Amino acid sequence: MALEGQTRRRGSRDVSRQERRAAARLAAVQALYQMDVAKSGINDVLAEFESHWIGQEVEGDQYNKAENAFFRNVLEGVLAEQGEIDVLVDRSLQEGWPLRRVEAVLRAILRAGAYEMLSRKDVPARVVITEYTDIGGAFFEGDEVGMINGVLDSLGRRLRPDELMGTARGSR
């Protein structure tokens, strides 16, 4: 599925760093999903995404070039810190709905967002919340988008209180 604003047609302008990061986030979510559902290994997924998806035309959609180092960092970081990430996300989810019970795409989005919130202090918390909420909107139309926003907002308030102090809960 192509995310609005993350695909472009031939002959269009160069892609900004922000757009390359957004494309890297989308690719990381898709790769995490593939690894979770198909039980693919990281080396296979990295090779596939970097050679056949990122910056390529897929099913008539031209995917933006992604910041490959950022894509790799998010993917490898989620895998390296998955135990801690899953505990953090579980604490932010509604009681009785641990992360393992969440739908696979939603789980990939929450893990990637939680990784950035936890380990990528160079990325502002509000950017993390907005970017992954937008990715969620490409896959879901219902309450899931609000849940992504709420979980990442909760994580941000816990992990980066100075950045989010004074903002209304759930704001983007």
User: Average pLDDT in the 4-8 region?
Assistant: 42
What's the CA gap between 123 and 119, in Å, rounded?
9
Say which CATH architecture domain 17-164 belongs to.
Orthogonal Bundle (1.10)
Confidence of residue 9 (pLDDT cuts 50, 70, 90): very low
User: Average pLDDT in the 18-41 region?
Assistant: 93
User: Average pLDDT in the 133-161 region?
Assistant: 93
Q: Exposure pattern of 22-57 as b/e (b: 16+ CB <10 Å)?
A: bbbbbbbbbbbbbbeeeeeeeeebbeebbeebbbee
Q: What is the pLDDT of residue 102?
A: 83
Q: What is the pLDDT of residue 6?
A: 44
Residue 48 makes CB contacts below 8 A (sequence gap 6+) with 40
Q: What is the pLDDT of residues 34-54, one digit of tens each?
A: 999 989 899 988 888 887 777
Between helices 143-159 and 104-119, what is the axis angle to 10°?
Answer: 20
On the question of pLDDT at 3 being above 70, the answer is no
Domain positions in the chain: 17-164
Q: Pairing mode, if any, of strands 61-62 and 57-58?
A: antiparallel
pTM of the model: 0.84
